[in-house]
Amino acid sequence: MDDNKKHVAFGGRLVIIGFGSIGQGVLPLVLRHIAMPRENIVIVTAEERGRDVAAEYGVRFIVDPLTRDNYRQILTPLLSAGDFLLNLSVDVSSVALIELAHEKGALYLDTCIEPWAGHYTDASLTPSQRSNYALRETALSLAPRFAGGATAVVTHGANPGLVSHFVKEALLNIARDTGHKVRSPHDRVGWALLARDLGVKVIHIAERDTQTADQSKQQDEFVNTWSIDGFVGEGQQPAELGWGSHEKHFPQDGGHHDFGSGAAIYLNRPGAETRVRTWTPMEGPFHGFLVTHSEAISIADYYSLVNGGTVHYRPTVHYAYHPCDDAILSLHELAGKNWALQSNKRLMMAEIAQGTDELGVLLMGHAKGAYWFGSRLSIDAAREMVPHNNATSLQVTAAVLGGMIWAIENPRSGVVEADHIDHKRVLEIARPYLGELVGEYSDWTPLEGRTLLFPEELDPSDPWQFKNFRVA
C-alpha cells in the first residue's frame, strides 16, 4: 500500500476517545491517508493500554477516564470548530459527545451508540429502554436540531457501518444478475423499492471468525479478537432484530417498542444466549448468535415502505455472528457464571496463528434464493497491510477511515447513519483493506435437512420466516 497516497488534507485537530484494538488499528490508517500534523492528534483514554503504540507514532496520550461529571471539563479545551472527535470508547455516552461536538462545530464519528456505564445492567430500565433501538432513537432525535451543522456519522465501523454499504452493493449485483434493469437509486425510497421489487425478505449480517491463537483459552479468561468489554456488553442486552412485513409468527418471548419508528422488536433473552441459522460461502451453514447491533434496526428502517402508518414492505434484518472459537468458550463460561465477567481478559493480536474473518450480508428471498456479499480477510493479509491490526479489527478500522474521509469531504451534513451516505465512496476508500470482496449465490435455506425433524417448529410454506432461522 502506498503510504504517500493521501485521500484528503485535514487542518484541524483529531481527538480520539478510547484506544483499544480499534483505536490502535486506525491510527496508522489515519496517518497514511489523511494529511495532518501528528502534533494535532491527541488520544484520551481510560487505561494505559496502547501507550506504546501512541509513542511509536509520536502522538499525545492522556489517561483520564471520561464520566458524566468530567467529560466536558476534559474535552472542551481540546475541541474547536473544524476539529474531529473520533469516539472509539465504551461506557461513554455517544449522545453526550455528539452534542458537545455540535456545540464546538467539530466533526464526529463513532462505531456504535454507547450509553454511560451501568446502562445495560440497570434493573430500573425495561428491556425496551435498555435496547439499541432506544439508544438509536435518542441519537437520531438530535438530527432535526443539528441539521446543517457539523457532520456526525453515527455507528460507522464494520457492523454497524460497512455492512450497510455491502447491502447496497449486493442489491445492485442481484438486480444485474436477475435482469432487473435499474440504475443505482438516489434516495431511501428508491433503495427500498429496489429491495422490494427484487423480493428480498431477510438480510443477515452473517459473520464467521476462524482466527485461532497459539495459546488456547484458559480458565477464568475471556478471549476475543476485538473489544471484550464491547462484546460482553452487547451480548448481555436483549436480542434485537428488524421485523419484516412478511413475518407471520411473532416470537412468544418477543416485545414491541411503544415509541420510535417501530422497525424492530426485541426478545426477552440476551443475544449471547440466542442463536440463529445462517450461511457464508467459506463456512457453509452454521449457528450464529443474534447479538443486538444497530445495523439490524437502521437497515430495516431504511428499507421500509410505509404509507399512512401501514408498513407495505420491510425486510427482517439481524446479526448472525459466530466469533472465534475461543470467544465461544469464553461466552459459555460467562453465561455459566451468571454473566459475571472473568477475572482475566485477553485480546488476541500477536498470538493469532491463522484464520480468517468472513464478514458480509446474506440477502434471501429473491429470485436466486440467497446471496452473500462481503469481505474475506485473513490474518496474514491483514498483517501485511496495516500494523496493529488483526483480520477483525482491520474490517472495522478501514470502515472508520472511510467514514472519517466522507465526513471531512461533507462537513455540514448533521447527524447521519451509514445507510444515508455515499456507499460507493466509502467502499472505494475501504476496499484495499478488506481482502477479497466476494459475492456468492446459494440455494441454502434454514429448512435444509430439517423437514423431518421437529416439524412443529417449522413453517415449510415460507422458508424465510424467522421461526425457521431461530435455534430452539
Do 71 and 186 fall into the same domain? no
Domain endpoint, select from 128, 154, 180: 154
Same domain flag for 204 and 85: no
Q: Please tell me the predicted confidence (pLDDT) of residue 452.
A: 62
Higher pLDDT, 67 or 5: 67
Q: Is residue 97 part of a domain?
A: yes
Predicted confidence (pLDDT) at residue 423 exceeds the cutoff of 50 = yes
* Total count of domains within the chain: 2
The answer, yes or no, to whether residue 133 has pLDDT greater than 90, is yes
Is 276 found in the same domain as 231? yes
Phi, psi dihedrals of residue 114, rounded to the nearest 5°: -100, 145
Same-domain check for residues 110 and 207 = no
Percent of the chain with pLDDT over 70: 98
CA 206/CA 204 separation, integer angstroms: 5
d(CA 51, CA 11): 24
Residue 94 falls within a domain, yes or no? Answer: yes
- Picking from 121, 154, 187, the residue at the C-terminal end of a domain is 154
- Given 154, 187, 213, the domain boundary residue is 154
How far is Cα 374 from Cα 165, in angstroms, rounded to an integer? 10
What does pLDDT average to over the chain?
95
Domain of residue 62, CATH code: 3.40.50.720
Residue 247 lies in a domain: yes
Q: How far apart are CA 410 and CA 150, in angstroms?
A: 9
Assess whether 134 and 184 both reside in one domain. no
Indicate whether 354 and 445 sit together in one domain.
yes
Query: Any residues with CB less than 8 A from the CB of 455 and at least 6 apart, and which?
Result: none
Asked if 42 and 168 sit in the same domain, the reply is no
**Residue 187 forms part of a structural domain:** yes
Question: Is residue 291's pLDDT more than 70?
Answer: yes
The reply to whether 113 and 219 lie within a common domain is: no
Query: 84 and 144, same structural domain?
Result: yes
Mean pLDDT of all residues in 351-366: 98
Residues facing 373 on adjacent strands: 361, 439
* Contact yes or no for 206/288 (Cβ under 8 A): yes
Residues 44, 78 within the same domain: yes
User: What is the band of 455 on the pLDDT scale with cuts at 50, 70, 90?
Assistant: low
Rounded average pLDDT over 163-181: 97
* Together in a domain, 231 and 196: yes
- Ranges assigned E (strand) in 387-459: 415-417, 436-442
Question: Is 371 among the domain residues?
Answer: yes
Q: Are 413 and 354 in contact (CB under 8 A)?
A: no
**Band of residue 453 on the pLDDT scale cut at 50, 70, 90:** low
Q: Are residues 112 and 214 in the same domain?
A: no
Helix (H, G, I), strand (E, B) or coil at 213: strand
Enumerate helices (H) and strands (E) in the chain, giving the number of each.
15, 25
Cell of 420: 444515508
Domain holding 191, by residue range, is: 162-391+432-469
Model confidence, pTM: 0.96
- Name the band, by pLDDT with cuts 50, 70 and 90, for residue 454: low
For residue 395, list its beta bridge partners: none
Q: What pLDDT score does 1 carry?
A: 44
Task: Provide the pLDDT confidence category of residue 118 given band limits of 50, 70 and 90.
Answer: confident
For 108, the grid coordinates are 464526529
Go through 18-28 and write b for each residue having 16 or more CB atoms within 10 A of its CB, e for each that does not: bbbbbbbbbbb
What does the pLDDT read at residue 182? 81
Q: What is the CATH number of the domain that holds 437?
A: 3.30.360.30
The per-residue b/e assignment along 278-288, b for 16 or more CB within 10 angstroms, e otherwise, is bbbbebeeeeb
404 part of a folded domain: no
Residue 144 within any structural domain of the chain: yes
Calculate helix-pair angle for 294-302, 132-140, nearest 10 degrees: 60
